[in-house]
Structure 1
Amino acid sequence: MRSVLFAFLLGLACIGLPAPSRAQDFTRTKDVIYGRKFGTALTLDVFTPKKGANGAAVVMVVSGGWFSDPNSINSPIFRQLFGEPLKRGYTVFAVVHASQPRFTIPEAIADVNRSIRFIRHHAKNYKIDPDRIGITGGSAGGHLSLMQGTAGDPGNPKALDPVERASSRVQAVACFFPPTDFLNYGGKDKYAFAPDGLLANFRLVMDVREFDPKTKLLERISATKARDLARKVSPVTHVNAKSAPALIIHGDADKLVPIQQAELIMARYKEAGVAAELVVRKGRGHDFNGAAKDFPVIADWFDKHLKKK
């Protein structure tokens, strides 16, 4: 699993891309703590345009294989991804979540939820409109983005923590090659995390355990519970008429996340009457090769759905 993940992250760092926004065009606030988990800080970086801010925000989920490395924020691919929205006046939040193998997909989802609540709660401080927040990411980051777009919630008005009272919903999603249905992954009834599944190398992300009062230990959940959980963390499960408009860019030669995943959720969006678009890149695999032309497309989507009319 590590070799697959490192290859993916190495690909992020080595792609030749045009230069992102110059350092003097924005200010960067590093390691803002948006939450804590077992005593460990959950952090995000804030990139604020020095001039021309449009009052909208774009959240960039820093995640590959549900592994979130803050150093990736400095890679060419991520700098180009958020550089385009920055040039257009968006305030960008690069969110780091708790990573596998220590933490699972449900926990990563909870972290991104928390980050959106935090950003919305502090919207006035960041000079952004709490009702104009978009989200982006690639691969696992795309999956987590779509979960926010389909399963964000209004918050708990009775929560003691004021951040938890804020909504975790977003108003637009734009992402690259995201997993969307773990129970029908590459074909009907194909479980992504089965020993022979396409995501078998990432099985630890679904190694969920529960406290057993008899053994007094954390025991692995049953196979039945695991599949039910896989359904709950699949974005296709949650698509409804109130889901955020979504753009997906996906290569038709992707062998890790088949384009079938994008097609499945696009069908759900159509059924729900949600604005959604799939951009197919011929011959592209699970990587960002040739993606420089896609970043303006991502920013255009946010312009369409987040800018004030």
Structure 2
Amino acid sequence: MEAAANIIIMARNISSASGRGSRRAMQVSVLGPIVAAALLATASPAAASDEAGPVRIAKDIPYLTTGGKALHLDVYVHSAAAKAPTPVLIHFHGGGWARGARPESWTGFRPYLAAGMSVVTVQYRLAGEAPAPAAVQDARCALHWVSANAAEYGFDTSRIIVSGTSAGGHLALMAGLLSTDNDIDLDACKAAPKAAAILDFYGPADLTGGGTVTDARSPTIANWIGGGSDANAMARKMSPITHLAPDSPPIFIAHGDADPIVPVTQSIDLKQRLDALGVPSDLFIAIGGGHGKFPPEQRSAMMKRAIAFLCGRKLLSAGACPAPEGI
């Protein structure tokens, strides 16, 4: 990937690129059901019709430079943005905060594009480069960038939706739940806009291990949080449940009931806390679903529920939303 390259192309002209097979194989293992099925079914990122794909693609856009390294994002603009600002989905990949990369193409985001959304996919610092709270700071900076560049890409800043799978689901929660006066944001990215909704796909919501003992946390979490005397305090600060409030954005949650990595109890507890606060939310539990490995029928039902949830919050155009039952 070339740093700072800003490539804008029409979707109908995208051709297959060489040398991407290994990266695509890696993505399938970490990105979860939303994108994996499409990547597995598609040999190359060749564009579909204008109706199904973005009309403008801008890749490798630097959105933050920190520690001497530039971080990049990719933008997939919906055709409707030429007429009026569109809702925009900001996606964070999974991989235990330690591995993974943003998707190579837009094809895994067809349901969102079909629903009228533009899509932004984000690179963030991994644990080997910088421990917590670096990835959360990057996620917040991506949110800030989307707001600052809304006019250029036709984004509707009142309809910003943050989403992610696994560790990316955690980052989506943190990006959407942090208040504007938090002490985590980098100075360059303060005053990020409030997200209109959060789509959390099997992300951990409580990193404390359910107590105050560092050893109670999983090795994956401990690797990102780091050690030292302040590890417990950092784990609590990096836990989305710490930042819940009555005015938190609406949250859609999806989780497999047989997840061996992030227990489904994390999402059940999150839903109960949201209910107690009166925050609109929905919890979809995939029967027989593992960590992002959901049966096809469950994956399809999950996406329909996620889109319906956004429709219920009036975040998508009427044409993208199914008619009420009985009509």
**With structure 1 as the length reference, what TM-score do the two structures score?**
0.79
CA distance, structure 2, for counterparts of residue 10 and residue 238 of structure 1: 25
**Identity over aligned pairs, percent:** 27
**Alpha-carbon offset, residue 283 of structure 1:** 1.6
**Alpha-carbon offset, residue 61 of structure 1:** 0.8
CA distance, structure 1, for counterparts of residue 113 and residue 181 of structure 2: 27
Distance change >3 Å, CA 68–CA 293, structure 1 → 2:
farther
Distance change >3 Å, CA 178–CA 14, structure 1 → 2:
closer
Conserved? CA contact 1:44–1:93, under 8 Å: yes
User: Counterpart of 1:66 in 2: which secondary structure?
Assistant: coil
Are 2:120 and 1:93 aligned? Answer: yes
CA distance, structure 2, for counterparts of residue 15 and residue 121 of structure 1: 33
Are 2:101 and 1:79 aligned? Answer: no
The within-5 A match list for 1:24-173 is 24=50, 25-26=53-54, 27-51=56-80, 55-67=86-98, 69-70=100-101, 72-74=102-104, 79-80=107-108, 82-153=109-180, 161=188, 164-173=189-198
CA distance, structure 2, for counterparts of residue 300 and residue 18 of structure 1: 25
Partner of 2:241: 236
Aligned with residue 300 of structure 1, among 293, 308, 311: 308
Q: Deviations over 1:6-59 (max 9, x none)?
A: 994397786476669726431221011110111111111000123477621111
**Alpha-carbon offset, residue 257 of structure 1:** 0.5
User: Counterpart of 1:257 in 2: which secondary structure?
Assistant: coil
Amino acid at match of 1:274: V
Which stretches in structure 2 are left out of the alignment for 5+ residues? 1-25, 319-327
CA distance, structure 1, for counterparts of residue 195 and residue 31 of structure 2: 30
Distance change >3 Å, CA 121–CA 22, structure 1 → 2:
same
User: Counterpart of 1:56 in 2: which secondary structure?
Assistant: strand
CA distance, structure 2, for counterparts of residue 138 and residue 92 of structure 1: 15
Relative contact order (alpha carbons < 8 A, sep ≥ 6): 1 or 2 greater? 1
CA distance, structure 2, for counterparts of residue 269 and residue 155 of structure 1: 20
Aligned with residue 9 of structure 1, among 30, 46, 62: 30
Conserved? CA contact 2:146–2:155, under 8 Å: no
Aligned with residue 211 of structure 2, among 172, 177, 189: 189
Partner of 1:259: 264
Distance change >3 Å, CA 288–CA 226, structure 1 → 2:
same
Amino acid at match of 1:74: E
**With structure 2 as the length reference, what TM-score do the two structures score?**
0.75
Partner of 1:217: none
Are 2:231 and 1:204 aligned? Answer: no
User: Counterpart of 1:74 in 2: which secondary structure?
Assistant: coil
Q: Deviations over 1:244-268 (max 9, x none)?
A: 1001111111121001100111121
Conserved? CA contact 2:85–2:154, under 8 Å: no
User: Counterpart of 1:64 in 2: which secondary structure?
Assistant: coil
**Alpha-carbon offset, residue 202 of structure 1:** 4.7
CA distance, structure 1, for counterparts of residue 27 and residue 149 of structure 2: 34
**Alpha-carbon offset, residue 150 of structure 1:** 1.6
Q: Deviations over 1:220-255 (max 9, x none)?
A: 531xx1111101100011110110100111111112
CA distance, structure 1, for counterparts of residue 220 and residue 279 of structure 2: 33
Which stretches in structure 1 are left out of the alignment for 5+ residues? 208-219
Q: Deviations over 1:54-100 (max 9, x none)?
A: 62111111232113543x5037xx732x2211112211111111112
Conserved? CA contact 2:62–2:73, under 8 Å: yes
Distance change >3 Å, CA 121–CA 68, structure 1 → 2:
farther
Conserved? CA contact 1:152–1:168, under 8 Å: no
**Alpha-carbon offset, residue 142 of structure 1:** 0.6
CA distance, structure 2, for counterparts of residue 279 and residue 248 of structure 1: 6
